[in-house]
Amino acid sequence: MNYIKVKTYEELSKKAAQIIASQIVMKPNCVLGLATGSSPVGTYKELIKMNQNGELDFSTVTSVNLDEYVGLDGTHDQSYRYFMNTNLFDHVNIDKSRTFVPNGCAENLADEGDAYDALIKALGGIDLQLLGIGLDGHIGFNEPDDVFTAATHEVVLDESTIDANARFFASRDDVPRKAITMGMMSIMQAKKILLVANGAAKKDIIEKSLFGPVDPKVPASILQLHPDVTVIYSEE
């Protein structure tokens, strides 16, 4: 594992964007696994700059996102599809028909999960998976549990996750209670993983995940078993 500690969020964002850009240069038709949340926003801004300066071409990139809230469609401003459009896809030359986010409004979420895993398989798997981390150690929306779940699946969000994400909604009551998330199989089968985290509040969970026991109660601890993980943590 490559653990990089930096001082500022700006440094984190620049380093993370360089790694993603290198992946695209190395394999222009790569499959990027993308993440939402506040942590990768700066990384996306850097990637947008590179694209708009003519330094980075997204035209043959495919993306698969980690997760989506159940019941929010892509027009809802807190849906993860909307987040991806406004924070990245609308500002770079990616072909939107090759950007995938699980459908949180699917009638049958178990079928949607199976179809999402089949899609990732058909794409040849993920070349580089970008991750954030929740305060409880969740990656995607894989919450602490007795077991690691392999497949894309529906989850009930932890109260602490609802608390953490309430800041984005008009009120806590508006935060969806459920989500659909890529499971550990697709995440861990990615050829490379890049996790970004910032702020003092994340320090403990980062250290527990990276250096504590591998335990589904700390979902990100599974990353210790992956052969090619880079973690960038910034203090601010």
Smallest CA-to-CA distance from 206 within 141, 158, 128, 134 is with 134
**From 67, 68, 112, 127, active-site residue:** 67
Which ranges of the chain would DSSP assign to H, the alpha helix? 9-26, 41-52, 80-87, 109-122, 159-165, 184-189, 203-211
Q: Which long-range contacts (CB under 8 A, 24 or more apart) does 163-170 make?
A: 164/134, 164/135, 168/78, 169/78
Query: How many residues contact ligand GLP, by CB under 6 A?
Result: 14
Minimum distance from CB of 67 to ligand GLP (Å)? 5
39 binds ligand GLP (CB under 6 A): yes
- 112 catalytic residue (yes or no): no
Minimum distance from CB of 15 to ligand GLP (Å)? 16
Rg (CA), the chain: 16
CA-CA-CA-CA dihedral for 10, 24, 187, 42, to nearest 10: 20
Minimum distance from CB of 78 to ligand GLP (Å)? 11
- 91 catalytic residue (yes or no): no
38 binds ligand GLP (CB under 6 A): yes
Return the axis-axis angle of helices 9-26 and 41-52, rounded to nearest 10°.
50
**From 136, 154, 158, 235, active-site residue:** 136
Minimum distance from CB of 121 to ligand GLP (Å)? 21
**From 11, 68, 143, 153, active-site residue:** 143
- 95 catalytic residue (yes or no): no
Compare residues 104 and 134 and give the one whose CB is closer to ligand GLP. 134
CA 146, CA 180: separation in Å to the nearest integer? 18
- 136 catalytic residue (yes or no): yes
Which of 104, 132, 176, 219 binds ligand GLP (CB under 6 A)? It is: 132
Which of 11, 67, 68, 112 binds ligand GLP (CB under 6 A)? It is: 67
Token pair listed for 71: 């019941």
Token pair listed for 73: 């469609």
Which of 16, 30, 32, 66 binds ligand GLP (CB under 6 A)? It is: 66
Edge-to-edge strands of the sheet including 2-6? Answer: 2-6, 229-234, 192-198, 128-131, 31-34, 62-65, 99-100
Which of 33, 42, 113, 140 binds ligand GLP (CB under 6 A)? It is: 140
Footprint of ligand GLP on this chain (CB under 6 A)? 35-39, 66-67, 132-134, 140-141, 161, 165
- What residues act catalytically? 67, 136, 138, 143
